[in-house]
Amino acid sequence: MKRKHKLHLTAFLFLIFTTCVMTFILKDSNNYNYDFDKSLETSIQNISTNDAIKNINNKEEKAKEEINWQPIIEKYRGKEITKIETDKKIIALTFDAGANADGVEKTLEILEKENIKGTFFLTGKFIEKYPDKVQMIINSEGDLGNHSYSHPHFTQISDSEIVNELEKTEKAMEKFDLKLKPFFRFPYGDRNGESRKVINNKNYIDIRWTIDSLGWKGTSGGITKESIENRVISKTSSGAIIMMHLGSNPDDKSHLDSDALPEIIKKLKEQGYEFVTLMELFNLED
């Protein structure tokens, strides 16, 4: 009888012990889940906070990059820029876009591979006709300048028509929520004192070039890849502005500028040159 009583007591005590252990485990599990949930929530909050901080920092960095252009515009009022005077071995590759977009992808691929940012002068019609290519140019993070709307001869149109050409191109860029830099390149290089005065009054600087690659003439114009390479490399000097084109020759469809670009970059890098945007050239001006 006593033995049976002891067995019942042992079973009772074991039941109490088991109950206590299970209660402890469940409580600890709940605490663990709670801690895990809180940890996850905190991590998510931290990620959101970090993203917010990163966005703020990015905006601050962009703000730092902004230039007060008005004094520069006034400095060059009535003048044209063919190069930036500097002793540094720094040059700018610039590309005009108007006729077509045949060379856009190849040119951008080369620039990306070489870690170079260019400066691109776009016409309004190009912007409207090739929005996907314009977005690619924007993604390359180069500078964007105004090249008129319809690429007319500016010495053959009125002041009001010049203003209209500038404003229509600005309007075309609104789709991309992006403003053009205050750089203007006259179509065909056709300009005079009056037309320059009009673009200055619209807060644009007259950007010409140091070297025209002549790639736009194409093979039908007697130009070759090698002649472009030799021309650009031999004429380059510190602060030079090199002009090339994003469109192919309309007659022979050649795009010699992009064909020659890799060798030009290679040779000029070997000579110690660095490639910058026009905005960076202005920042580095002596």
CA angle 170, 110, 222 (to 5 degrees): 85
Clarify whether 96 is annotated catalytic: yes
Please state, in angstroms and as integers, the Cα–Cα distance from residue 126 to each residue in 141, 149, 220, 265, 280, following that order. 18, 8, 24, 26, 25
Segment 124-127 long-range contacts (CB within 8 Å, at least 24 positions apart): 124/148, 124/149, 124/150, 124/165, 124/168, 124/169, 124/171, 124/172, 125/98, 125/149, 125/150, 125/151, 126/97, 126/98, 126/101, 127/169, 127/172, 127/173, 127/175
The catalytic residue among 96, 102, 143, 259 is 96
How far the first Cα of the chain sits from its last, in Å, is 110
The catalytic residue among 147, 151, 245, 255 is 245
Phi first, then psi: give them for residue 156, nearest 5 degrees: -110, 5
Token pair 């940890």: residue: 39
Residues annotated as catalytic (active site), given as ranges: 96, 245
